[in-house]
């Protein structure tokens, strides 16, 4: 099939390359000329394992192409996917749909023959209705159907997720779109990927509801971790114990410094706003958003406490800047809030990340970026593990300690065993594990 992908960012580029790998003819369109030039020269604007080879292979076969002009490709297309950004709108948290609607207007002017227009961007309920209205307004004679097909890709594992998905959700109101979408995903039938056809509004809500639930699960185990620290329990064992229940499952039960990234922060906010506008507030998600923001600031206080109550004038080494490993995505990364809070308290920050430092340089001020984990430790009062990159899992802890002025290792991802860190000479602090118990009675009153 002839597919056009409007938007060559994370979702659009991964989806377009995978569709091409299935055998479809794909053109990725983007307004950013520099990005398109880079892609045409074999460069990849994002870090995603395996993506560079996937793109190069399909460009070489002629199945994948890039352009800044959508007119010709859309006129020849069977399916046009809208995969542009929907960031949180400044000031109110609603999803900014300006890029989606602008794409709809441009697509409308280029349509030629029956075409299925598919929103792959994460959009609030009712967006497909507005896309359809815009296209009919711009081109009343166009023959088209608008469908919803949300993505469920994990950064760092996106290609595997696309080719072996848990599910494919397709929302439509016009049955003419169904056989077209079935043909788009026909290569996945051998993998027995379940395809759920729904109404368009239902499909749009599924994406938000799924992300909000996962964000809530992360926030829940983070609150349990705080309780574990106070009562002398181990959150990792608690998570394993509850995750073995098939009704709960073990995924997204890893305590840490809070969620970040391109999806959860903006999608939880957008769902909250959608529910408010509908007159049915979702209190659990409202609380999830608030607790997650407080969690990030609390991690800075944990570092300050590990340094004896003050970090003024002290160097703090930060290991990991991206919101998760195997990506260069810095959007809403916990490291941003943690570093800002430490700087506000007078700390000097030195940081290393295997892939995220280019993006971090545009988002952080007065941070020294270094070339290795050990360089972050030079004369540092504390080293803080913020992101659980594989490169940090087997550090030479004695060497790390020898570089430091202090001895605090604050492990916000629990990748080391306390006894191993302590044998290397560290005063080790982790998340949700038993610490020194006090004689004070436990208080369960809210702060």
- Each residue of 380-418: b (16+ CB within 10 Å) or e? bbbbbbbbbbeebeebebeebbebbebbbbbbbbbbbeb
- Tokens standing for 238? 């608690």
Measure the CA angle with vertex 225, ends 341 and 247; round to 5°.
130
CA 195 – CA 402 distance, rounded (Å): 55
Cβ atoms of 258 and 332 within 8 Å: the answer is: no
Two structure tokens written together for 148: 């919803």
Give the count of alpha carbons within 13 A of 252, CB side only: 17
- Whole-angstrom distance, CA of residue 315 vs CA of residue 406: 9
In degrees and rounded to multiples of 5, residue 5 shows phi and psi of -115, 110
Q: Are residues 331 and 262 in contact, defined by beta-carbon separation less than 8 angstroms?
A: yes
State how far the Cα of 335 lies from the Cα of 258, in Å rounded to an integer.
10
Among the listed residues 335, 352, 331, 304, the one whose alpha carbon sits nearest the alpha carbon of residue 413: 335
307 is catalytic: no
Q: Which of 18, 28, 228, 263 is catalytic?
A: 263
Could you tell me if 109 and 70 are in contact, meaning their C-beta atoms sit under 8 angstroms apart?
no
Q: Tell me the catalytic residues.
A: 263
């Amino acid at each position: 099939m002839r597919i056009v992908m409007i938007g060559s960012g994370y979702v659009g580029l991964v989806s377009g390359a995978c569709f091409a790998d299935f055998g479809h003819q794909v053109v990725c369109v983007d307004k950013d000329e520099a990005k398109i030039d880079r892609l045409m020269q074999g460069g990849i604007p994002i870090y995603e394992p395996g993506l560079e080879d996937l793109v190069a292979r399909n460009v070489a076969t002629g199945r994948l192409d890039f352009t800044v002009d959508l007119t010709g490709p859309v006129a020849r297309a069977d399916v046009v996917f809208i995969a542009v950004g929907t960031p949180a709108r400044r000031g109110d948290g609603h999803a900014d749909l300006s890029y989606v609607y602008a794409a709809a207007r441009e697509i409308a002017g280029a349509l030629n023959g029956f075409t299925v227009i598919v929103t792959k961007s994460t959009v609030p309920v009712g967006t497909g209705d507005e896309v359809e209205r815009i296209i009919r307004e711009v081109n009343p004679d166009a023959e088209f159907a608008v469908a919803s097909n949300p993505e469920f890709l994990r950064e760092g594992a996106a290609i595997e997720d696309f080719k072996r998905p848990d599910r494919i959700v397709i929302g439509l109101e016009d049955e003419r779109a169904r056989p077209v979408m079935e043909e788009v995903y026909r290569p996945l039938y051998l993998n027995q990927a379940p395809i759920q056809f729904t109404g368009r509004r239902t499909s749009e809500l599924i994406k938000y509801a799924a992300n909000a639930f996962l964000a809530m699960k992360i926030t829940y185990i983070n609150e349990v971790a705080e309780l574990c620290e106070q009562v002398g329990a181990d959150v990792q064992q608690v998570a394993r114990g509850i995750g073995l229940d098939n009704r709960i499952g073990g995924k997204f039960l890893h305590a840490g410094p809070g969620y970040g990234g391109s999806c959860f922060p903006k999608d939880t906010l957008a769902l909250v706003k959608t529910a408010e506008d509908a007159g049915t507030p979702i209190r659990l998600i409202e609380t999830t958003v608030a607790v997650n923001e407080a969690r990030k600031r609390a991690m800075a206080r944990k570092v300050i406490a590990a340094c004896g109550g003050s970090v003024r004038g002290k160097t703090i080494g930060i290991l990991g800047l991206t919101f998760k490993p195997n990506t260069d995505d810095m959007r809403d990364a916990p490291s941003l809030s943690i570093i800002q809070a430490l700087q506000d308290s007078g700390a000097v920050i030195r940081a290393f990340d295997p892939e995220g430092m280019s993006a971090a340089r545009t988002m952080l001020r007065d941070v020294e970026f270094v070339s290795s984990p050990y360089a972050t430790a030079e004369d540092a009062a504390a080293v803080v593990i913020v992101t659980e990159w594989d490169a940090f899992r087997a550090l030479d802890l004695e060497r790390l300690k020898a570089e430091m002025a202090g001895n605090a290792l604050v492990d916000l991802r629990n990748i080391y065993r306390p006894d191993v860190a302590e044998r290397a000479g560290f005063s080790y602090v982790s998340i949700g594990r038993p610490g020194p118990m006090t004689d004070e009675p436990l208080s369960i009153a809210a702060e």
